[in-house]
Amino acid sequence: MALIIRAVAAVLLGVLAVEPASAESVDPRLAAIASEARGVIAVIDWFYVRHHTCPQPRRPTELAELQSEVGDGTSIELRGRFVAIRGIAMAAEWLYYTSPERPDHCTLWRKLGWDPALIWRRRGGTASWSFDPGDGTPERPFRPTP
């Protein structure tokens, strides 16, 4: 099984390395991955609209609210300073982080292999996507849909 996972990761890394997302790209491969997080992002955004802060998973009531809002088929598990989110519509887990010092900032990301990652960030009233190729070059802005 581990061999299969490594092979799939190698193919995915190879595909992303051949045609990485360019500035403000609309890469359909990355868009498909980003669509997995659509429901979780909607919950985070709705929480932000109501409370003017991102959900703080270290607060039991906010963790419970987050879990109840993402619905059936999605699990949320505290893992150190992060929250691992898995769902039936997700090919791999997404990680969520927010700092108690900056409660209006939060990050949701998914690793795309050893180093590359797709990242969604909320900074106050704005949110954006980026692709981190993981090779030391800067993150690149990404739009999941045209």
Q: Where are the domains of the chain?
A: 2-142
CA dist 133 and 65 (Å) reads: 33
Give strand ranges (E) for the chain: 74-79, 82-87, 94-99, 102-111, 117-123, 126-132, 140-142
pLDDT classification of 8: cutoffs 50, 70, 90: very low
Share of the chain above pLDDT 70, in %: 82
Q: What does the chain come to in residues?
A: 146
pTM score, whole prediction: 0.79
- Tell me the average pLDDT of the chain: 83
CB 117 within 8 A of CB 44: no
pLDDT classification of 25: cutoffs 50, 70, 90: low
1 pLDDT exceeds 50?
Answer: no
pLDDT mean over 91-98: 96
Which of helix, strand or coil describes residue 69?
helix
Lowest-pLDDT range of 12-21, 80-89, 110-119, 130-139: 12-21
